[in-house]
Structure 1
Amino acid sequence: MVSKAWMLGLCLALFASIAAAAQDRGPVTNLPLPRFVSLKAAEGNARRGPSLSHRIDWIYTRRDMPLEITAEYGHWRRVRDRDGAGGWIHYSLLSGVRTVLVEQDLLPLRMRPDANAPEVARMAMGVVARMGACNRDWCELTAGGYSGWAPKTAIWGVRPDEERD
């Protein structure tokens, strides 16, 4: 026979796990939080709060810039960039197309996800590249007509544990 205290403990543990899972999802989209997206528009205003009446704190002027969504409210998404700056941006200015920011100068792109694979190109620090597949340690990047694999540690816009086909 199961005791009431044991059942209560089980219920509380289950509730805590459900609450934690709910906090990891956006209340509007039910998509994971945080998550990476890119700036769809050539310009996007990051506001202090989630409405047009809030002051503009930051203006992003680089199409395809990777941004991290940290919160949702109605049609607004709170984002931050690689430097931690950001604010609330209207969802219509964001895209699910994944891009990353190169954080290492002259980053070698490899033919395969292997440090000993032949180098196919180099990317300058600050380049915004489209992200393709990712395994545990490497991501496939495309920019300027070149495509190759780079270590996750050299780019911003992907979680360390993220894998993509």
Structure 2
Amino acid sequence: MTGFFKTIAKIFNFFLILVVSYLTPDQNFSLEKKKFFSTKYSEANLRNGPGTNHLILYKILHKGYPVLIMEEFENWKRITDYKNRSGWIANSQLSSSSYGIVIENNSVLFKFPTIQSKQIALLQKDVIFGIATCKPAWCKIKVNDLTGWIETKRFWGSKH
């Protein structure tokens, strides 16, 4: 009888490990590892399905608007934005250029990547900017004719 219980215990442990490994979140599932794109033109249609026969949910009216790729189907990508709006957009409307969007009013643009550095500007929510390079907590950006550093926690988008 003891051998029977040992066999049952081994089977139970095997299934327990299997279930735990299945339920453990994927460590690669972070925003930094996901694919960010941006809109290529100043107007892009977001649809409720992959194809021009699907309804337009809304229009993105900004070139460089950052979007996160959630799914791909043929020549279409299902995207979401920082406001959790989602829909399908044609690949031809997207660019791999790195852009971000400010998510807090009065986000400071610094001359160097430290909060002790000179403040260049205060950026308001929804300002879109190009990203030149990033460090772990900072990105060097260009917004209009200004170039400076912003903390990564102050914006949504690619933090390559």
Which residue is 1:153 aligned to? 153
- Once the two structures are TM-superposed, the CA of residue 94 in structure 1 deviates from its matched residue by 0.4
- Once the two structures are TM-superposed, the CA of residue 36 in structure 1 deviates from its matched residue by 0.9
Structure 1 runs (4+) greater than 3 angstroms displaced: none
The CA distance in 1 between the partners of 2:35 and 2:139, in whole Å, is: 16
Which residue is 1:108 aligned to? 108
Q: Read off the aligned partner of 2:86 and give its amino acid letter.
A: G
Matches within 5 A, 1:85-164: 85-158=85-158, 162=159, 164=160
The CA distance in 2 between the partners of 1:71 and 1:102, in whole Å, is: 24
- Once the two structures are TM-superposed, the CA of residue 64 in structure 1 deviates from its matched residue by 1.2
- Helix, strand or coil at the partner of 2:79: strand
> Residues 33 and 69 of structure 1 are in contact (CA less than 8 Å); yes or no, is this contact kept in structure 2?
no
Q: Read off the aligned partner of 2:154 and give its amino acid letter.
A: A
The CA distance in 2 between the partners of 1:33 and 1:51, in whole Å, is: 27
Cα distance change, pair 146–68 in 1 and its aligned pair in 2 (3 A) = same
Deviations 1:37-62 (A, max 9, x none): 11111211111111111121121111
The CA distance in 1 between the partners of 2:89 and 2:34, in whole Å, is: 15
**Structure 2: runs of 5+ lacking an equivalent:** 1-17
- Helix, strand or coil at the partner of 1:104: coil
The CA distance in 2 between the partners of 1:97 and 1:69, in whole Å, is: 14
TM-score by length of 1: 0.75
Deviations 1:110-140 (A, max 9, x none): 1111111111222222110101111111111
The CA distance in 1 between the partners of 2:111 and 2:41, in whole Å, is: 31
Cα distance change, pair 33–120 in 1 and its aligned pair in 2 (3 A) = closer
**Structure 1: runs of 5+ lacking an equivalent:** 1-11, 25-31
**Identity of paired residues, percent?**
26
Deviations 1:3-30 (A, max 9, x none): xxxxxxxxx9xxx9xxx7xx98xxxxxx
- Once the two structures are TM-superposed, the CA of residue 145 in structure 1 deviates from its matched residue by 0.4
Instruction: Give the number of aligned pairs.
Output: 149
Matches within 5 A, 1:1-165: 34-158=34-158, 162=159, 164=160
Which residue is 2:6 aligned to? none
The CA distance in 2 between the partners of 1:118 and 1:45, in whole Å, is: 40
The CA distance in 2 between the partners of 1:128 and 1:141, in whole Å, is: 10
- Helix, strand or coil at the partner of 1:140: strand
Q: Read off the aligned partner of 2:38 and give its amino acid letter.
A: S
Larger Rg: 2
The CA distance in 2 between the partners of 1:144 and 1:60, in whole Å, is: 19
